[in-house]
Structure 1
Amino acid sequence: MAKFSFSMQNILNIKYKIEDQVKAEFAEANHAYNQAVEKLNYYVSRQHGLEEELRQLYSNKLDIVKIRSTQAGIERMEDLIKLQIIEVNKANDLVEQVRQKLAEAMVERKTYETLKERAFEEFLEELKKEDDKVIDELVAYRYKGETSE
């Protein structure tokens, strides 16, 4: 029996490797995005804590130094939040770029898999034709043998 061999198997193997690499890149980009969001959430939480502390300072005995220090901390948190929002947006853009790259890699891989499936179907059809031919020859041989007796 003949053995199936896909002529573009090497290319398909490369497409699998590329897809795996892009999946790893996507996971890394997604992880970086999640870390950036987590850091932003920490800054926002810290800012809320400082704002609450400032409200407490205003309601208690006035300590100007502590109030100014807390206000400066709030302003610093606002700056950090603005910068972190930029980082989150950059990380999100990278995730989207890699997601698109992954989609393209998956389409390319699927294209070659489809070509392989079609080639295998053609291979099976050829095998069936060969089997049918052998059966026809066998039947014809038997028929000749029976008619000559």
Structure 2
Amino acid sequence: MASFHYSFQKVVDLKASQKTQAEWVLSGALGELSTQEQNLYQLRQSQAEWEERLHQATTQAVPLSDLLVIGQYLDHLQACIERKLEDVQHAQKAVDQCRSKLADKMKDEKVWLKAKDRAWESFRHALQIKEQNELDEMATVRFIMPSP
């Protein structure tokens, strides 16, 4: 029996490899986004703690210089949060781009897999016709042969 050999198998393999690479890149981008979001969360937690310290300091007798230091540190934290928000936005854009590229790679691979499936079906159909013709020929030869 003949075996199926798809002439564009290397292209199919390449498309699958490209899809896998796109998945890895997306995974890395998602990891970076998660890291940036975690850092932003920590900055916001720190800001909330320092705001609570400032609130407690205003209810107690605390030197003005301490209040100024806390205020300056809160300003610094706010600036860090704004920068981190930009980092999160950049990371989100990178994730969106990676998802888009992955979707394209998946579509491309699917096109080639469908072409391979069509070639397989064509091969299988041709093989069935060949087998049927051989069976028909055997039946014809038996019919024509005289009985002993």
Band the TM-score falls in, shorter-chain normalisation: over 0.9
Displaced runs of 4+ in structure 1, greater than 6 A?
none
Q: Structure 1 length as normaliser, TM-score?
A: 0.97
Look up the match of 2:83.
83
Q: Structure 2 length as normaliser, TM-score?
A: 0.97
Name the amino acid aligned to 2:53.
E
Using the TM superposition, name which of 46-55 and 62-71 deviates more: 62-71
Q: Secondary structure at the match of 1:146?
A: coil
What is the RMSD computed on CA atoms of the aligned residues? Answer: 1.0
Cα offset, 1:146, TM superposition? 3.3
Cα offset, 1:143, TM superposition? 0.6
Look up the match of 2:106.
106
Look up the match of 2:143.
143
Look up the match of 2:39.
39
Q: Matched residues, percent identical?
A: 23
**In 1, Cα distance between equivalents of 2:109 and 2:30:** 22
**In 2, Cα distance between equivalents of 1:48 and 1:88:** 20
Name the amino acid aligned to 1:137.
E
Unmatched 5+ stretches in structure 2:
none
Unmatched 5+ stretches in structure 1:
none
Look up the match of 1:133.
133
Cα offset, 1:62, TM superposition? 2.8
Q: How does 1:33-72 map to 2 (within 5 A)?
A: 33-72=33-72
Name the amino acid aligned to 1:11.
V
